Structure 1
Amino acid sequence: MVINIEGLDFAYGAGKQTVPVLKDINLTIESGKITAIIGQTGSGKSTLVQQLNALLKPTAGQVVVGEQVVTSQTKEKDLAPIRAKVGMVFQFPESQLFAPTVLEDVMYGPLNFGASQKEAKEAAEKALSAVGFDQKLYEQSPFNLSGGQMRRVALAGVLAMNPETMVFDEPAAGLDPAGQAELLQLLKDLRDSGKTIVLISHQMEQVLALADQVVVMKDGQVAAAEAVDTLFSRPKAWFEEQHLDLPETIAFQKEMEAAGFTFDHLAKTGADLAAQLKGQLDLSKLGGDHHE
């Protein structure tokens, strides 16, 4: 499901108290791909993604979700179908949890959108299984869980509604390395199953590994929106202007390019970088002459 943002402005408050946040956003979120949204703190990332499922409505312009159009005049009663299509997992999972047990919490979304108790239970159990949540904890209070477990329950709660698009605000925050790896694999699996994924991330290695396309926000505007390979092929100075770090592999590749090395393609992993360098280095000279 494609999402088009057209001429969007957004401001908090009204009259003299207006605080502009987003300015003239024109953007397409492509169907069946992972789109990463990056930018320094205060650039408008979180405000932008809340437009995707109409948690916030534009001050001007419009958001077109599939065939449904959201403007400043759209009535609240008309937003439910959009929220069924676009699910959001917030950065702090405790903000989404409220039911007495884990299973009830995950069942809430499907029930709210018209599923029967049986259908909701089946959807919840399937979603909890997909995120690797321990079945023994289904009857626990979600507030007795660890941060990582709460993140999984919040994610399962959105998965259970089976939205076409899923939006994640810093999905790997607070997870240990193993938990991060599992979550990132789940996002890839969701993309491969046909879902559209949007994620905010400040972890550039994560963006490089996951994203098909990247949107760079700066001062409430889109500074770039392009394929991940195109973005990271930009000069190092451009990232410095945006106050963004480069992934370590890309930073090293750019240093080597400055030293005269050439590369066939963008190296997304250390192994890829090493393989491309290997063909250009005279390893015997680097190692010295060991024959006496």
Structure 2
Amino acid sequence: MSDDWKLKHVSVYAEGTDKRLLLSDVNLTFKAGQITLLIGKNGAGKSTLLETMTGIRQLSEGEIRLGEASLWIMDSRRKRLDHKVALKLGISMQSSESQWFASTVRDEFLYSLKPYKVAPEAAKQRMESALAEAGLSIEMLERDPWTLSGGQQRRLSLACLLACEPEWLLLDEPTAGLDAVGVRRLCAVLEAHRAAGRGAVVATHDLDALLPLADAVAVVSGGTIREAAAAAAIAHAAAAPQALRALAELRAEAALPPQAPLRSGGAPWPAPREVAAALAAELARKPRERAGAAVRAVSAAASCGKSESAAGPSSANRNGVPSAAARELLRSDRFDPRSLIVVYFLLAAAIFAQKTFLELAIAGIFTILLLIPFRSLIWPWIRIIRAYAIMIAILCVIGGLSLAPISFDGERAFPIFIRFSKLLLIMLLGMPMLKLMTPMRLQRAIEQTFGWLSRLRVPIHSFALLVTLIFRFIPLLTGEWGRFAKLAHARGKAVTPLKTVPVSMLRSILIPYVRSILRLAEQMADALEARGFGYAKARPTYGFLLRFNRSDAILLLIAVCSSLLLFLTAFLQ
């Protein structure tokens, strides 16, 4: 018999600059030996809850325990996943294709089984047994998982979980893409899993297939989760006709008045006036709930702001909710890309002109002051910045070190420090630009500025498209690496910080990562061809035109004044 999942005051915020509250103060227990369904609208938070329970999404507040063991433990002042707990659960993600990276189905199985240290012969038996349970043939072991149909990929995702024999199955839309036979096999797998005393949490919209199996149902709505429904109520709903089940769901969502005594004729339906009054009350209640949620969010942001002096500014960036002014400033359409590029080149040239330590320190102060409004855009790059700073220190030590005799010459290390520090400041200035302008706006900026060169047969539109593709591909590279990092934690059971890949796994995922990037490039080329790129047009039509505004003027003024002061500082020294 496995242990119960216990969630206490669990809250999760969205990543990036938009610090939305995805899960709010969740208190719930998922009992072992039971199948619990998570139901709710798209975007309600079902996938977020499953990823949080698995440990592949950062927990902002609260605690998650499996029996007496906590999913997250403190280690050297940092939270990390408990490896023993991670081995007891397995998750199947909503998009099956997001889980593959190996060249064959066999390699996918072996990657999932590696953390469990299964002997080769036992691993072979587990693979064959799991494939049979999922309804796949053994010959499929040599197939590329990307070449399988959607339903086959869904079955393979389940088979990879079954081969690991976890105590808990966390399934996200497991019936999507399955035919009737596949759904029946899934139900048989869940029944066998429950019979073995193990538990399952299933996020689904397919109530017809899975509701008869469920021991409990939890309703997810707007990041909050209602207490699971009783088994007797579920059994009654599963046996009821579709119309009565729809009526029960409406009542469960408080969109209809409670069950009234049977009317003449035995019809349980309420009168039209009752339905209209109940719906009007529900529509009036929702704005009040949203207002209350906004007040709570502001209060949380204020409390984060009060604790910022003690915890540092990064604490507010991670957990705080940005103000309306901050969100307005960080919009990708706030500034004209041309003004951003001019500002960047002005400040970069001024930084390059600095030669002494004092000049570099002044340039560093100017850079920090200019980047304070955009600090939330730089925070995701903090690990790269830290690694670069460590590299500068190492290069300075190597450059100033003498072996005969052993000594350190600061004058030899100083030029290295100056050059690489200037590059660091310039790199910091460029980091917010990826978020402050979209690739489409950058393409439009190039075409509007240099479009007249096309009359001289200069392929300016092709050049603009190339620049746009480069800017689009950079987020794809980082996003794909993030996917591999998620797989390292979800399937490889890594306990390193999220969004990182353990050094021990780099060797096994490096070639698959390159293959995945090439596949993305091929898909992008197909998409461009399908949209007609590459076919010359006599006179292109633009959906929008860029124009300088007040924000651009203020930004340019600040950049011009700052660069002039830095140039004067360099020339006066």
Contact 1:57 1:71 in 2 (8 A): no
Q: Which residue of 2 aligns with 1:289?
A: none
Cα pair 1:169 1:200 within 8 Å, conserved: yes
Q: Which has the higher helix share?
A: 2
1:99 to 98, 102, 108: 102
Q: Quick one: distance in 2 between partners of 1:101 and 1:82?
A: 28
The residue identity in structure 2 corresponding to 1:225 is A
Give secondary structure in 2 for the equivalent of 1:224: coil
State the Cα distance separating 1:224 from its structure 2 match.
3.3
Task: Report what 2:25 is aligned to.
Answer: 24
Structure 2 Cα separation of the partners of residues 155 and 168 of structure 1: 9
Q: Following superposition of structure 1 onto structure 2, how do residues 99-248 of structure 1 map, counting pairs within 5 Å? A: 99-230=102-233, 239-240=249-250
Kindly provide the amino acid, as one letter, of the partner of residue 27 in structure 2. Answer: N
- 1:61 has 2:67 as partner: no
- Give the equivalent residue in structure 2 for 1:12: 14
SS in 1 for 2:87: helix
Query: What is the CA distance between 1:236 and its match in structure 2?
Result: 6.4
Q: CA deviation at 1:73?
A: 5.7
Residue in structure 1 matched with residue 35 of structure 2 by the alignment: 34
State the structure with more CA Rg: 2
Q: How far did residue 241 of structure 1 move?
A: 6.4
SS in 1 for 2:227: strand
- Go from structure 1 to structure 2 and tell me whether the alpha carbon gap of 1:132 and 1:243 turns closer, same or farther (over 3 Å shift): same
> Which residue in 2 is equivalent to 1:288?
none
| CA distance in 2: counterparts of 1:204 and 1:84, whole angstroms | 29
C-alpha distance in 1 between matches for 2:37 and 2:158: 18
Flag structure 1 segments of 5+ consecutive residues without an equivalent: 246-253, 263-292
Deviation, structure 1 residue 242: 6.4
Q: Residue 22 and residue 189 in structure 1: after superposition, are their counterparts in 2 closer, same or farther (change >3 A)?
A: same
The separation in 2 between residues aligned to 1:133 and 1:235, in whole angstroms, is 34
CA distance 1:191–1:244, change in 2 (3 Å) = farther
Q: Note closer, same or farther for the CA distance 1:48–1:134 as it changes in structure 2 (3 Å cut).
A: same
Question: Would the aligned equivalents of 1:51 and 1:58 in 2 still touch at CA under 8 Å?
Answer: yes
Change beyond 3 A, Cα 1:215–1:140: same
Check 1:195–1:73 CA distance in 2 against 1; reply closer, same or farther (3 A cut): same
Measured against aligned partners, the alpha-carbon deviations of 1:78-110 in whole angstroms (never above 9, x if no partner) come to 333222111001122111122222122112221
Contact 1:54 1:79 (C-alpha < 8 Å) held by counterparts: no
Letter in 2 for 1:42: G
Report the AA paired with residue 25 of structure 2.
D
**1:7: Cα distance to partner?**
0.9
Match of 2:266 in 1: 260
227-236 vs 29-38, which moves further: 227-236
Query: Are positions 1:82 and 2:82 aligned together?
Result: no
Q: CA deviation at 1:160?
A: 1.1
> Does the CA contact (< 8 Å) of 1:8 and 1:26 recur in 2?
yes
Query: Contact 2:35–2:200 (CA<8 Å) still a contact in 1?
Result: yes
Q: Report the CA distance between 1:193 and its aligned residue.
A: 2.2
Q: State the distance in 1 between where 2:71 and 2:14 align.
A: 17
Deviates most, 73-82 or 126-135: 73-82
Partners of 2:28 and 2:153 lie apart in 1 by: 32
Residues 96-105 or 232-241, more deviating? 232-241
Residues 56, 79 of structure 1: CA spacing in aligned structure 2 closer, same or farther, 3 A cutoff? Answer: farther
Distance 1:32 1:93, change over 3 A: same
Q: Is the 8 A contact 1:46 1:169 kept in 2?
A: yes
Deviations 1:196-216 (A, max 9, x none): 111001122234211100101
Query: After alignment, is 130-139 or 168-177 more displaced?
Result: 130-139
Q: Using the alignment, how far apart are the partners of 2:88 and 2:67 within structure 1?
A: 9
Distance 1:101 1:222 in 2: 39
- Structure 2: runs of 5 or more not aligned: 238-243, 269-573
Q: 1:235 offset after TM fit, Å?
A: 9.3
2:134/2:155 contact within 8 Å kept: yes
Contact 2:183 2:209 in 1 (8 A): no
In the other structure, the counterpart of 1:284 is none
Post-superposition CA distance 1:165-211 (Å, at most 9, x none): 00110111011122212222221122122221110011222342111
How far apart are the structure 2 equivalents of 1:211 and 1:103? 32
Q: Tell me the amino acid that sits aligned with residue 157 of structure 1.
A: C
Percent identical across equivalent pairs?
A: 30
Tell me which amino acid in the other structure corresponds to 1:23.
Answer: S
The alignment's TM-score, normalised by the length of structure 2, stands at 0.41
* Aligned-partner Cα distance in 1 for 2:214–2:13: 29
Does the 8 Å contact 1:11/1:59 carry over to 2? yes
CA contact (8 A) 1:108 1:157 kept: no
Contact preservation (8 Å) 2:73, 2:82? no
Counterparts of 2:170 and 2:252, CA distance in 1: 23
Cα offset, 1:132, TM superposition: 1.9
CA 1:76–1:132: 2 relative to 1, 3 Å: farther
What's 1:2 paired with? 4
